[in-house]
């Protein structure tokens, strides 16, 4: 009975903060059943980039403490303006991390990298439709605290990459 009640309360709290995010809050925190803070990040408005130069995806950043470990999982939809285009994604973060593992699954395309500012790029298929997206980051941070930021760009100049709102990430220490 105690396990059921604990799980019920935890799921209710998680649902409450997801409701806050859906109502427009850019960031919220909950405490999971192990006592860890889980930060929820949200892209509130559609992000577009028609350049091959990276720019920050608004709302998808957090401060990483020195000598800490994080798991980040992001979900949402992205699309390209024409069939010729694709995406470029990268995470930036503090200098001297001990370990970084990044993955991006967009539709049927899977990409991975093992360093900050390592570019993951591919053509979207189908390009002009909303395509389910899953982006992950596993970080073992070193001695330097700093901001972790998702960045995106088109892989073809003058073709618009769009990440649809809401694009939601969970950050678990």
pLDDT tens, position by position, 150-168: 999 988 877 888 999 999 9
What would the mean pLDDT of 85-104 be, rounded to a whole number? 92
Q: Region 15-27: what's the mean pLDDT?
A: 47
Q: Where are the alpha helices (DSSP H) in the chain?
A: 2-22
From residue 164, alpha-carbon distances to 27, 77, 122, 133, 149 in Å are 17, 5, 18, 10, 17
Looking at domain 2-172, which CATH architecture does it have? Answer: Sandwich (2.60)
Question: Taking the model in full, what pTM does it have?
Answer: 0.81
User: What ranges do the domains of the chain cover?
Assistant: 2-172
């Amino acid at each position: 009975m105690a396990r059921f009640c604990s799980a019920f309360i935890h799921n209710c709290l998680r649902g409450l903060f997801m409701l806050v995010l859906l109502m427009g809050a850019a960031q919220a925190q909950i405490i999971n059943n192990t006592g860890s803070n889980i930060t929820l990040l949200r892209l509130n408005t559609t992000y577009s980039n028609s350049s091959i130069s990276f720019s920050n995806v608004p709302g998808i950043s957090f401060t990483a403490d020195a000598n800490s470990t994080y798991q980040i999982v992001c979900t949402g939809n992205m699309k390209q303006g024409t069939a010729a285009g694709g995406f470029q994604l990268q995470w930036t973060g503090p200098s001297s991390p001990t370990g970084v593992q990044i993955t991006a699954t967009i539709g049927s395309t899977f990409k991975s990298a093992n360093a900050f500012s390592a570019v993951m790029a591919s053509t979207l298929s189908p390009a002009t439709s909303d395509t389910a997206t899953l982006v992950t980051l596993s970080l073992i941070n070193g001695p330097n605290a700093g901001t972790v930021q998702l960045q995106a760009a088109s892989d073809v100049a003058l073709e618009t990459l769009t990440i649809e709102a809401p694009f939601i990430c969970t950050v678990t220490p």
